Amino acid sequence: MDEKTFDERLKAAQEHAESIVRSFLPKEEGYQKTGLSAMNYSVLAGGKRLRPVLLYVTATMYGAKPALYEPFMAALEMIHTYSLVHDDLPALDNDSYRRGRKSTWAVYGDDQAVVAGDALLNFAYETALTAFSCAETKEETDRVVKALQLLASNAGIYGMVGGQVADLESDKHQELVDEKLLTFIQEKKTACLIDSGFVIGAILGGAPKEDIQALHQAARNVGLAFQVQDDILDVTGDAAVLGKSIGKDAAEGKATYVSLHGLDAAKKEVQDLTDEAADLLSHLSVDGSFLAQLAASLVGREK
Amino acid sequence: MDEKTFDERLKAAQEHAESIVRSFLPKEEGYQKTGLSAMNYSVLAGGKRLRPVLLYVTATMYGAKPALYEPFMAALEMIHTYSLVHDDLPALDNDSYRRGRKSTWAVYGDDQAVVAGDALLNFAYETALTAFSCAETKEETDRVVKALQLLASNAGIYGMVGGQVADLESDKHQELVDEKLLTFIQEKKTACLIDSGFVIGAILGGAPKEDIQALHQAARNVGLAFQVQDDILDVTGDAAVLGKSIGKDAAEGKATYVSLHGLDAAKKEVQDLTDEAADLLSHLSVDGSFLAQLAASLVGREK
């Protein structure tokens, strides 16, 4: 597959993910309209739809039914989005901008932003639960249950939220941040939702156990690489391209892979993690080459 | 059934609910320990465990399997608790005390309280999802799916969170609050989780459609009565007994049933709603007398 074909495929997958995510958004009406608007504003702030794209790609690799995996694509993006809405709050990161637009609290107030985040997280489950009505066999129902359980565990206190908790805690005690804690934070905060993207589609498509295991491992690598790349961009990036402030980590004296190991080691780490992921994906029972290219493309990203 | 027997049964149900809720709480360990502590602190702040008690009582009425309904008892209390944690935040109600103890943000900081609330909401789903592993037949699996869907819709933007959104919005435009909007807020904010308490146990026990319908209607009445009673107590209550500030609504010029209709009309409304609920519960296919007494006891409550 040549470079152009990969770009075209990626663009098509992103457009498809975008339309699926939009199709599950609620109508802005009724007494709770402000909350519904805040939810949609947050989700429609854009982004690369990386997580639903990954879910779509793996679901397709294993021939999962669209009616089963599409609700999960939307649910996963809602979970990712709610975490950004709450992260941006004055009580947390106090970021007024996100992806070049005002963050949700800056538009709707921090009270509505707290509640809109809650609404999005809950709506993610409402959305994912609709998949049950499209499960036609006991096997499909069982797969939806497993997919839901993974979605939930990757999002919660033993997943993404666990990483956020440790991250907030470490901000107050930078002197205690060592590589083990940093890896924990990055694995939980970033790799867990990437893991949902890598594995939920495979579960819904009935992938063999060995493939599921390899996808978990590859997701961990890609998630860590993605986070280290984020740290690199915070040092080397262009604010206009990124659509967010840069140099923030350093200004706050925040421990990152870059601050602990330096820029060159960080770049090498991203490469090593991605290479290992590519190797894992090359041994799946199905063709994982597009997923591997997608993973690799994260290394070269500028935003 | 005499009064003493009712009190004994209620006490036993509350103690049972307390132990079930506790049994599903996470261990406070690992890098995310602060978040786990904040979650448990919030849940262990006490309260009457009204919602899991209701769920337990209706589940028992219909002979549901404990392994199926116990996770839902805990999940429902977690959802109720997360909503209090977020409601108390400085960005929302700015309440430093809850049930006579410091509220979660006052102990853990408002950053951790935002995230602990998220963690609790997510953990509610993680917990409820464990019920699937105890479903032994297709019918039981289908009931768990329906129970999850009701849990989620009652908690979300078309349920409790929808009421919160409208409530926050109405705080800024008190002049626009009429009875219709007030009923919407109270129905969503309070009655929806009561509804989960009334109906999830019945779903898990395979209750007939007519009973489910009557339970929904009774729950709406009890939820509204409960909220109007809350408004009454905000005027007439004793802060020491309530364990929270009183007179707050009036001080903030907040529209309530009492401010719109007066104290006497509010007391009559509570009685009418409860009588109608009792009537509905007296026509179920099973003995709903304890549930009816429980509903009635909410009228006489002082806290």
Q: Which of residues 201-240 of A touch B (CB under 8 A)?
A: none
Measure in Å the smallest separation between the Cα of B80 and chain A Cα atoms. 13
Asked whether residue B226 carries a pLDDT value surpassing 90, the answer given is: no
Reduced 3-state DSSP string for chain A: CCHHHHHHHHHHHHHHHHHHHHHCCCCCCCCCHHHHHHHHHHHCCCCCCHHHHHHHHHHHHCCCCHHHHHHHHHHHHHHHHHHHHHHHCCCCCCCCEECCEECHHHHHCHHHHHHHHHHHHHHHHHHHHHHHHHCCCHHHHHHHHHHHHHHHHHHCCCCHHHHHHHHHHHHHCHHHCCHHHHHHHHHHHHHHHHHHHHHHHHHHCCCCHHHHHHHHHHHHHHHHHHHHHHHHHHHHCCHHHHCCCCCHHHHCCCCCHHHHHCHHHHHHHHHHHHHHHHHHHCCCCCCCHHHHHHHHHHHHCCC
Instruction: State whether B165 and A115 contact (CB < 8 Å).
Output: yes
What mean pLDDT is reported for chain A? 92
B82 interfaces chain A, CB cutoff of 8 Å: yes
Chain centroid to Cα A154, Å, comes to 10
Segment A237-269, tens digit of pLDDT:
766 555 556 677 777 777 888 988 999 999 999
The string of pLDDT tens digits covering residues B243-274 is: 556 677 777 777 888 988 999 999 999 999 99
pLDDT score for B12: 96
CB spacing of B39 vs A157 below 8 angstroms: yes
CA distance, residue A181 to nearest chain B CA (Å): 7
User: By mean pLDDT, which of A161-165, A207-211, A239-243, B98-102 is the weakest?
Assistant: A239-243
Q: Chain A 13-72, CB below 8 Å of chain B: which residues?
A: 26, 30-32, 34-36, 39
- Confidence class for position B238, pLDDT limits 50, 70, 90: low
Nearest to A32 among B86, B122, B162 (CB): B162
pLDDT of A297 higher than 90: no
Q: Between B229 and A41, name the one with better pLDDT.
A: A41
Could you give the percent of chain A with pLDDT greater than 90? 79
Taking CB atoms and an 8 Å limit, are A35 and B138 in contact across chains? no
Confidence of residue B140 (pLDDT cuts 50, 70, 90): very high
Contacts of A27 in chain B (CB under 8 A): none
Mark yes or no for CB contact A152/B125 under 8 Å.
Answer: yes
- Residue A266 confidence (pLDDT): 94
Which residue of chain B comes nearest to A35, CA vs CA? Answer: B165
Q: Which residues in chain B have Cβ-Cβ distances shorter than 8 Å to A121?
A: 118, 121-122
What tokens appear for B29 in the block?
């360990």
Test mutation, B127, B165, B182, chain A, max A CBs within 10 A: B165
- With an 8 Å Cβ cutoff, is B186 touching chain A? no
> Does the distance separating the beta carbons of A123 and B156 come in below 8 Å?
yes
- What pLDDT, on the 0 to 100 scale, is given for residue A240? 57
Q: Is residue B60 over pLDDT 80?
A: yes
Name the least confident of A122-136, B49-63, B229-243: B229-243
Q: Is the pLDDT of residue B176 over 90?
A: no
Q: What is the average pLDDT score of chain B?
A: 92
Q: Do B157 and A122 touch (CB under 8 A)?
A: yes
Mutate to test the interface with A, among B114, B139, B149, B193 (most CBs of A within 10 A): B114
Nearest to B138 among A83, A121, A138 (CB): A138
Q: What is the pLDDT of residue A99?
A: 82
Confidence of residue A226 (pLDDT cuts 50, 70, 90): confident
- The nearest alpha carbon in chain B to A39 belongs to B157
AA letter at A133: S
User: Which chain A residues are within 8 Å of B168, Cβ to Cβ?
Assistant: 34, 111-112, 115
A·B CB contacts under 8 A: 171
Distance from CA of A125 to the nearest CA of B (A): 7
Q: Do B165 and A112 touch (CB under 8 A)?
A: yes
Give pTM, 2 decimals: 0.94
Residue B191 is given by DSSP the state I
Q: What is the pLDDT of residues B35-47, one digit of tens each?
A: 999 999 999 997 8
Contact B185/A at CB under 8 A: yes
Model pLDDT, residue B177: 87
pLDDT tens figures, A94-114: 999 988 899 999 999 999 999
Residue B124 forms contact with A (CB below 8 Å): no
Question: Shortest CB distance from A145 goes to which of B32, B132, B164?
Answer: B132
Cα separation of B59 and B38, whole Å?
A: 30
CA A122, CA B294: separation in Å to the nearest integer?
29
**pLDDT over threshold 60, residue B3:** no
Residue A246 pLDDT = 65
